[in-house]
Structure 1
Amino acid sequence: MSDLISVQNVSFRYQEEQPYVLNDVSLTVEKGEWLAIVGHNGSGKSTLARHLNGLLQPEKGDILVEGYNSRDEKSIWEIRRRVGIVFQNPDNQFVGTSVRDDVAFGLENNGVPRVEMIERITESIKRVKMDEYVDQEPHRLSGGQKQRVAIAGIVALRPSIVILDEATSMLDPAGRKEVLETMRELKEEEGMTVISITHDLEEAAKADRMIVMNKGEIIDEGLPATIFQKGEMLEEIGLDLPFPLQMHRALKERGYPLDSLTLSQEDLVDAIWTLQSKN
């Protein structure tokens, strides 16, 4: 793997008299990985997301995206071509009267030739499995479908990195599953790099790597299985442990011999089935 993004000692505050929202933050994002950045509200994770595609500029430090420095005004356009963001509320992202028109909007703004634009619209809508709704009005779709259309609009621009900034937080479980499965397929089949900004640890548990933020600083990073070994630390900063992990803890406290962590419902079912088989 190689670094697509390098964040180097970045600090940022919205106003001079206010405390820093980001305080000496450094991290890298590797090509083709799914990185989850987790933290409670106010941890700085969404502010960081807006730095990664140049919506905000660091007060101190540097952010490099495929070698382009966000401090260089001439590089901002190149950075935004490479980093797409799907935000929390899908309704705030729609500008078209149909799914097709909405996906076309970004392509038109980028001056993509019409023939190529039609091909990209068709391809991206099909990639998120919304081709049956191409003429549907976006506001008539379910929450999960709306976010999939928002993802199609980003995918059509062919970025190398997609940031999900709390993109599943307003969805029901079915909608959340739709969006995450769509992004997982894009990552695996298209080699897309995904950065998930979230306070949902069940979502983060499916990532390749996790970064934990609190009060504008990175306090831990590593594989999900390693981070979740520190459940008390996560709870101390206001995060809710995934249900499978809570059940794992409860079973161990009652004397059941569970070896490995259960980070998903499937892992939990397998662990319980194994215990039953031994009895």
Structure 2
Amino acid sequence: MKELISINDVSFAYREDEPAILKDVNLTVYAGEWLAIVGHNGSGKSTLAKLLNGLLIPTAGRVIVEGYDTARADELWEIRKRVGIVFQNPDNQFVGTSVRDDVAFGLENFGVVREEMITRIDEAVRKVKMEKFLDAEPHHLSGGQKQRVAIAGILAQKPSIIILDEATSMLDPMGRKEVIETVKALNEQQGITVISITHDLEEAIRADRVIVMKQGKAIMQGGPEEVFQDGEMLIGAGLDLPFSVKLSLSLQKKGIPLPKAYLTQEELVEALWTLS
């Protein structure tokens, strides 16, 4: 698989006299994957997100994005064309008086000509199913719709990587579902690489690969099936297990011969039905 981002022995501290937030982190992001980086508050996961497009620069080590080094100021423009971030609070991301203006904002910053801008805006809002809201005022939208517009603003810039930095944490269940389904479709149908920074393991279940952060270090990585079998490790990292995994482990302790912890309720029900 093609490597898009390489993180090599990266450490980071906000000040020299403070403990490091990240400590000797190594990982690779591959083209077309959905990578979930999970951890409790303070684990360093959001700091890591900001290092990936040069909002922060490593104290030690290197972050390489498609051959560009975030530590080189003259390469940051190219990196930020390739890596877009959707942040936690949708209300803090709007700068335009309409959805159309907001999606156009980033394109204006990149100097995209008007004809190309119109085409990109139309394509981007269609991909997130917000084309009916082009002239809507942002404050009239729901939280999930606002985040979908924020994603459209990133898509219009045609990045190869989208980072969701706790982008669903302030949404209600419906808004969260809207955003996750939108991102999943972009990943599967458009081949866009997704990095999801989250403490919500229900969201991480949808990823191709999961990295668990604890106290600034990556303590485990693998597919969801592999990572979610180690309930004690996840609890030790300060994470709340998904309901189906938690119930699976509880049933195993009570002597129910389940072969593994199941990631979804549907899988668990099917396994229990088979046992009966």
| TM-score, L = length of structure 2 | 0.97
Residue 214 of structure 1: aligned partner: 214
1:61-140 correspondence to structure 2 within 5 Å: 61-140=61-140
Q: Secondary structure at the match of 2:259?
A: coil
Question: How far apart in 2 are the matches of 1:236 and 1:26?
Answer: 21
Question: How far apart in 2 are the matches of 1:265 and 1:153?
Answer: 34
- Measured against aligned partners, the alpha-carbon deviations of 1:69-110 in whole angstroms (never above 9, x if no partner) come to 111111100000000000000000000111111101111111
Aligned partner letter, 2:160: S
Question: How far apart in 1 are the matches of 2:246 and 2:11?
Answer: 35
Q: CA deviation at 1:137?
A: 0.8
1:1-279 correspondence to structure 2 within 5 Å: 1-275=1-275, 279=276
Aligned partner letter, 1:168: T
Q: Secondary structure at the match of 2:228?
A: helix
Q: CA deviation at 1:59?
A: 1.1
Question: How far apart in 2 are the matches of 1:213 and 1:259?
Answer: 27
- Measured against aligned partners, the alpha-carbon deviations of 1:165-187 in whole angstroms (never above 9, x if no partner) come to 00010111111111011011111
Q: Percent identity?
A: 65
Q: Secondary structure at the match of 2:229?
A: helix
Question: How far apart in 2 are the matches of 1:155 and 1:251?
Answer: 43
Aligned partner letter, 1:154: I
Question: What is the alpha-carbon root mean square deviation over aligned residues?
Answer: 1.0
Question: How far apart in 1 are the matches of 2:133 and 2:254?
Answer: 50
- Alignment coverage as a number of residue pairs: 276
Question: How far apart in 2 are the matches of 1:187 and 1:18?
Answer: 38
Q: CA deviation at 1:270?
A: 2.4
Question: How far apart in 2 are the matches of 1:65 and 1:255?
Answer: 48
Q: CA deviation at 1:2?
A: 1.2
Unpaired segments ≥5 residues, structure 2 = none
Q: CA deviation at 1:259?
A: 2.0
Q: CA deviation at 1:251?
A: 2.0
Q: Secondary structure at the match of 1:229?
A: coil
Question: How far apart in 1 are the matches of 2:268 and 2:179?
Answer: 23
- Measured against aligned partners, the alpha-carbon deviations of 1:246-278 in whole angstroms (never above 9, x if no partner) come to 111122223322223311232223223334xxx
Unpaired segments ≥5 residues, structure 1 = none
- Measured against aligned partners, the alpha-carbon deviations of 1:114-157 in whole angstroms (never above 9, x if no partner) come to 11100110110010011111111111111111100000000010
Question: How far apart in 2 are the matches of 1:37 and 1:235?
Answer: 15
Question: How far apart in 2 are the matches of 1:181 and 1:118?
Answer: 25
